[in-house]
Structure 1
């Protein structure tokens, strides 16, 4: 009921937005009208309008936007060019190979997502500020918190962006430095955090609270050295501690429970976007990652696209190769869990690997599998079985159809559509715990850092605790826990690993990707269409 209640209010907001922008017959007699005077009288009416700002977040879970540029540019995700599929003008290869170009449409989509959300927040703030209603102050604070989230993502991805807060200002905005954007977001959060609600219940689910705003500020401080040149580990630790010590959130006994179809009961998720396959669509990972014939595994109403895959080395970071040699290279036969004689990381549920079957348990055949596929296609008289293997042969042009562990972090619904109903997790407690561990480690408080990291490992299941904490195992643990939660690119940059040679693909006929920490490639280029539309914008250094 909590999820349904909030989605209903979001949809009311969408409906108002629709009617406000629709064409009308000016000669038609108007019997009623929604105005500031006769509408914003109750909290429910404010919340329905707020829905317009929150629904902008619906772009997170689909292809070619902010999530995609962060993940494909990291060492987690690749979308290989599979024969005639997924070349798409080379834009996906450019992202993974760090050949960023300002005309890549993924950057334009991401910019539109961010500034579309900012613009909606500004419009609603402008409307609420005209009201003589004591309730408006709290809702304006909530909108400023949401706007701060969009700006935090913008400064992380693009760095030097315009700061726009006045909806009535028609002047084209100037580019502001990353330091200025950082200072703006921090100033906004410092002002509104005391005004935000602290409750965790049906009235605040999927909405900005003190705790989600503290997560944004914690992230700012955690990455402050990257953003401004001045580390802020103690301040990051203070915000993380406040969230943890509140006692409002607790780790779920099962990691997987945070990502179920019905994950609104998670005690760990701090801020989510409540997708719904009927009322709030756009969460398309089931289409983006599964093989075409996986439709028969889950009885899906639509055929998946066979696109997004996990980088092999990243998958193998969950499995000790000394205890499980079958996971390495082209000899892998999809038996990782069965072959392992050591400990099992329960977070392997993040991936779909091994032989795939129809929903009735019969073998699922991939009629288009390549003759060079190493999964034993010639051994089955009934045809080649679909087998997802972590092995990736190359990125282009001959990526194998069955190569790459598939993203299975969120539960797939049997009988599901191309839209998933799982709530998309933006912030959760485990990130705060690992962030506190990192901040303490950076400050030399290694005993406390070790205990925090081992708390996360203990929940993962059957894992031996670390006996010491190092930068390497802290970084690796963040990767395993936070897979595809849009943190990895940021972590790579902060740990000075962004640009290391993580490309294992054979047949690429090009040098390994290597660029030094601090490279201009740590920022994405300002999209070319934005530069053409607004001559006051300045391209990030290093890009033409």
Structure 2
């Protein structure tokens, strides 16, 4: 697994030169500098700055603990939905549950900065690792042979961030390594242009477009925590799955094609025990397609599964190897979605009840009162091993974060078949029932072909992928996020209400609008 390497690039603005403490000539003559730089790109999804757990953060304007990439992304994807409510009163956080955010919200601003920090880092790596520069610098033949794969990985990470930017903000600027830094502000691109760029990059680095040597390792051949062609196929399938939202075009047949490649590869298999995917020894789960490794000693920060584990617990946290930050609960809409025999929300080390219910009401009576305001607890990410042993410390989690896993592929395939993308209806049913059999410990939870419809898929995605960072995108794709769906406390009222349809996209932050006069604010803001 790559570890955090050089960290001398700290720019957030994609149009300016990164700030450096070392010259290009001095750094890149060293052969190992390229893999170290690549390590920094992967670390950008994980750590928050140049030292841990806090200090010298990559982005400013927000508490560094909040600024971790996947914590921000998770908050954008989960807190405005039926799946999660947080009790904290930090500036701007309740606006996410209320659907009342604006361009000055610190969380949406930090998410924008984090996305384009990753883009700028990836662009800089690609600028500094061309074949001509490696030859001019006298780098060894061995490193010159390896760098094309490194470049493919950097392009994957850039595509991942651009997908997040497209999904969350819509028509962002599109900046590549060819952009002249320090020149005019980058122009805003359309959603269709960004979609096409992500698609073309992923096709290139999987060898689909036959465009050169910069190709990811074959599916299943990457070092754990790094991208291979399976991760790229998954990102392509995600892009195509949500194409109606991004471009107005149905690409369900492409979803079928790329999920079949993953399913038929024989590389991945469902974890026998659902909960083992979310414990401190979940590294190298056979179900993980792409994961962000966490280590309580070496990736110390207050985001990722450290946040998800601690924030979902109160006084009982020690049995889960954590401290408990008294923050996250779920709504009754989620609780009511599970059958009483469904084992997915029955977490190890509890008394056996679904969720943590003791002393709590199912209904949330107060958002800001964690202890007495109701809402069942969801200790999904537990800092204990499958044998019950605690992680290396009780603050920073050892639980790896699953960005993409095989269960999602099962559900994506089934949804694409139902949307007319081809494939096999019988196979779609079998794939869904594979998940149901694991969830129910046998066939008692299996459904029939007649019961497999899109409404079922949306609910099953919530049951299977609860708190994994998919819910907002799913609700938008099913047209239930803003002006149609209702759940407890949506829109800031206990019974819930519909909200304005323009909130399917977040606003561009004022800071970016001021910095880039070519950027037009999303409608409604």
- Report the counterpart of residue 13 of structure 2 in structure 1: none
Matched, 1:232 2:245: no
- Report the counterpart of residue 482 of structure 1 in structure 2: 465
TM-score by length of 1: 0.78
Quote the offset at 1:531 in angstroms.
Answer: 1.2
Change (3 A) 1:510 1:481: closer
1:532 to 505, 514, 521: 514
- Report the counterpart of residue 464 of structure 1 in structure 2: 445
Contact 1:289 1:307 in 2 (8 A): yes
Contact 1:388 1:406 in 2 (8 A): no
1:36 to 28, 32, 36: 28
Quote the offset at 1:286 in angstroms.
Answer: 2.7
Matched, 1:65 2:72: yes
- Report the counterpart of residue 110 of structure 1 in structure 2: 111
- Report the counterpart of residue 201 of structure 2 in structure 1: 188
Change (3 A) 1:75 1:289: same
State the alpha-carbon separation in 2 of the partners of residues 294 and 209 from structure 1.
Answer: 39
2:174 to 148, 160, 163: 163
Q: C-alpha offsets along residues 84-138 of structure 1, whole Å, 9 cap, x if unaligned?
A: xx2224x222211211211110001111111111111111111101223343222
Contact 2:224 2:284 in 1 (8 A): no
Matched, 1:504 2:488: yes
- Report the counterpart of residue 78 of structure 1 in structure 2: 85
Quote the offset at 1:306 in angstroms.
Answer: 0.6
Matched, 1:279 2:298: yes
Higher mean alpha-carbon deviation, 402-411 vs 507-516, is at 507-516
Q: SS state of the match for residue 504, structure 1?
A: coil
State the alpha-carbon separation in 2 of the partners of residues 112 and 507 from structure 1.
Answer: 26
Higher alpha-carbon Rg: 1
1:308 to 325, 328, 331: 328
Change (3 A) 1:397 1:57: closer
Contact 2:366 2:373 in 1 (8 A): no
TM-score by length of 2: 0.80
Quote the offset at 1:350 in angstroms.
Answer: 5.9
Change (3 A) 1:350 1:481: farther
- Report the counterpart of residue 475 of structure 2 in structure 1: 492
State the alpha-carbon separation in 2 of the partners of residues 431 and 297 from structure 1.
Answer: 29
Contact 1:121 1:147 in 2 (8 A): yes
Cα RMSD between the aligned structures?
3.0
- Report the counterpart of residue 473 of structure 1 in structure 2: 456
Contact 1:355 1:388 in 2 (8 A): no
Quote the offset at 1:312 in angstroms.
Answer: 1.7
Alignment of 1:296-335 (within 5 A): 296-298=318-320, 300=322, 303-320=323-340
Change (3 A) 1:59 1:406: farther
Q: SS state of the match for residue 498, structure 2?
A: coil
Higher mean alpha-carbon deviation, 282-291 vs 270-279, is at 282-291
Quote the offset at 1:269 in angstroms.
Answer: 0.2
Change (3 A) 1:35 1:507: closer
Contact 2:72 2:107 in 1 (8 A): yes
- Report the counterpart of residue 56 of structure 2 in structure 1: none
Quote the offset at 1:150 in angstroms.
Answer: 0.5
Q: SS state of the match for residue 57, structure 1?
A: coil
Quote the offset at 1:498 in angstroms.
Answer: 1.2
Q: C-alpha offsets along residues 129-167 of structure 1, whole Å, 9 cap, x if unaligned?
A: 122334322211111111000001110011111111126
Contact 1:97 1:513 in 2 (8 A): no
Alignment of 1:147-226 (within 5 A): 147-166=158-177, 168-171=180-183, 172-194=185-207, 195-198=215-218, 200=220, 204-226=223-245
- Report the counterpart of residue 294 of structure 1 in structure 2: 316
State the alpha-carbon separation in 2 of the partners of residues 160 and 353 from structure 1.
Answer: 45
Contact 2:3 2:39 in 1 (8 A): yes
Quote the offset at 1:73 in angstroms.
Answer: 1.1
Contact 2:326 2:371 in 1 (8 A): no
Q: SS state of the match for residue 289, structure 2?
A: strand
State the alpha-carbon separation in 1 of the partners of residues 35 and 175 from structure 2.
Answer: 23
- Report the counterpart of residue 342 of structure 2 in structure 1: 345
2:149 to 138, 148, 151: 138
Contact 1:233 1:442 in 2 (8 A): yes
- Report the counterpart of residue 324 of structure 1 in structure 2: none
Q: SS state of the match for residue 316, structure 2?
A: helix
Quote the offset at 1:316 in angstroms.
Answer: 2.2
State the alpha-carbon separation in 2 of the partners of residues 350 and 160 from structure 1.
Answer: 40
State the alpha-carbon separation in 1 of the partners of residues 349 and 463 from structure 2.
Answer: 15
State the alpha-carbon separation in 1 of the partners of residues 318 and 287 from structure 2.
Answer: 33
Contact 1:218 1:236 in 2 (8 A): yes
Change (3 A) 1:73 1:278: same
State the alpha-carbon separation in 2 of the partners of residues 510 and 311 from structure 1.
Answer: 11
State the alpha-carbon separation in 1 of the partners of residues 357 and 438 from structure 2.
Answer: 32
Change (3 A) 1:275 1:235: same
State the alpha-carbon separation in 1 of the partners of residues 476 and 167 from structure 2.
Answer: 10
Higher mean alpha-carbon deviation, 255-264 vs 411-420, is at 411-420
State the alpha-carbon separation in 2 of the partners of residues 397 and 12 from structure 1.
Answer: 40
- Report the counterpart of residue 126 of structure 1 in structure 2: 127
- Report the counterpart of residue 424 of structure 1 in structure 2: 401
- Report the counterpart of residue 87 of structure 1 in structure 2: 89
Quote the offset at 1:59 in angstroms.
Answer: 5.7
Quote the offset at 1:21 in angstroms.
Answer: 6.7
State the alpha-carbon separation in 1 of the partners of residues 414 and 479 from structure 2.
Answer: 18
